[in-house]
Amino acid sequence: MNEKNEQKKLDLPDSIDYVLLDEATIKAQVRQMAEEISADYEGIHNEDFLLIGVLKGSFIFLADLSRRLTVPHRVDFIALSSYADKAETTGAVRMIMDTRADVAGRHILIVEDILDTGYTLKYLYRLFDARQPASLRTAVLLTKPDRREVDVPIDYLGFEIPNVWVVGYGLDYADRFRTLPYIAALKPRVYS
Ligand code: 5GP
Ligand code: MG
């Protein structure tokens, strides 16, 4: 390891194992996703296009993505919980806060941080689909394909990652590490 990398490693919080995606890598990919989405929704009206961010994990991804879009759009949020304060899935999804905006007749883009088993996105997809949107698509920053239990369509994807618990760029462990500018693997001893 050269000196610069050595220094970087020393700067990491103690619970972080290694950096999976650095700031520049995330930025470039989010920019590309925004370009693709902007092209697909070209000509759309402001009132018709609604990004729905899934709190809390997607708040930074949504902020960066929406600011890169060149098409007019609105932003709303929904809050769900499928995990307690630990890195374990129950498969049970609970709604904590619904969107404020009407979904009916609008073009909806669900913005989610990470797809693991798929239950959360599947739940959201069904929920919004039942509200008769003009169209329904998904933008997902990260996916762990090895963990998938239910099928759910991803229209815009950031990165495929291995089966490790990741934090940073909005993602947490027990509500910590969300504001790290990179996406990193947590040391297994922290969550096991
Ligand atoms: P799923 O329902 O697909 O199993 O889980 C999706 C949700 O689990 C995500 O929205 C996220 O809140 C959480 N999740 C899954 N894997 C990770 C991870 O590696 N890190 C963090 N911070 N959250 C995760
Ligand atoms: Mg989430």
pLDDT in tens, 50-59: 999 999 999 9
Asked whether the CA dihedral 11, 174, 23, 149 is positive or negative, the reply is: positive
pLDDT at position 45, please? 87
- Tokens representing 100 are 């404020």
pLDDT at position 9, please? 57
125 lines ligand 1 (CB under 6 A): no
Domain locations in the chain as residue ranges: 24-161
pLDDT at position 3, please? 62
Cα 125 from Cα 153, distance rounded (Å): 9
**Which of 78, 82, 93, 142 has most ligand 1 atoms within 8 Å of its beta carbon, as the pocket-test mutant?**
82
pLDDT at position 1, please? 55
Q: Which ligand is nearest to the CA of 89?
A: 1
In degrees and rounded to multiples of 5, residue 64 shows phi and psi of -70, -45
113 lines ligand 1 (CB under 6 A): yes
Question: Ligand 1: which atom is nearest the Cα of residue 120?
Answer: 2
Catalytically active residues, by annotation = 116
pLDDT at position 47, please? 83
Q: Which residues of the chain have a pLDDT value below 70? A: 1-11, 82-91
Q: How far is the CA of 121 from the centre of ligand 2 (A)?
A: 8
pTM: 0.91
pLDDT at position 91, please? 64
Listed residues: CB within 5 A of ion ligand 2: 54, 57, 113
| 24-161 to CATH, choices 3.40.50.410, 3.90.1150.10, 3.40.50.2020, 1.10.8.10 | 3.40.50.2020
User: Residue 16: what residue type?
Assistant: I
Cα 48 from Cα 104, distance rounded (Å): 10
